[in-house]
Homo-oligomer: A and B are copies of this chain.
Amino acid sequence: MGKNFSKNKLIVFYGVLLAAILLLLKWLEFRFLIVNHAFEVYIGAIALIFTGLGIWLAIKLAKPKTRTVVVEKEIYITKPTESIIPQEKTLSKIGISKREWEVLALMSEGLSNQEIAERLFVSLNTIKTHSSNLFEKLEVKRRTQAVEKGKRLGILA
């Protein structure tokens, strides 16, 4: 906004300057044009002046090229609690199914397989199957390792 304003002001200023120069030339014309040989010089002066004027105008008004520099700024924040189902990319990349993730989440809360089974209304054997598959996909051997790795992968809160 302020930039546009100053630009307009500049243009107006330049217009006035131009008018002044033309008047000056007019005056010079009256004073010296009688001298015939001065005509070429006059034209040359005009050309020179207005070329310089154009250059000056262009330099003044040209927008500077902006170069964007991205600066990485480290900000320590308690990792924002992701969605309730976090990092679906990671999940699908590893191939963990929704049900398996649910089991993992309840594991991380310290529930036993039996408790998880009751919570999810399925049998204990089902939970065992899920957890076995889970361990294989996470490449771990125990539930504690699964929880630890799950957190490292960002798929657990």
Contact = CB atoms under 8 A, between A and B. Distances in A.
A46 interface: yes
A103 B21 CA distance: 82
A66 B62 CA distance: 11
A82 to B, nearest CB: 11
Interface stretch (A71-79, A84-92, A94-102, A119-127): A71-79
B64 A66 contact: yes
A66 B57 CA distance: 18
Interface string A108-137: 111110000000000000000000000000
Contacts of A7: 61-63
Contacts of A75: 72-77
A69 B79 CA distance: 26
Given A17-B11, A144-B144, A69 B70 contact: yes
Contacts of A148: 108-110
Contact of A62 (B22, B59, B149): B59
Which of A14, A48, A51, A146 is most buried by chain B, counting CB atoms within 10 A of its CB?
A51
A47 interface: yes
8 contacts: A46-B47, A51-B57, A69-B71, A75-B77, A77-B79, A79-B79, A108-B144, A109-B145
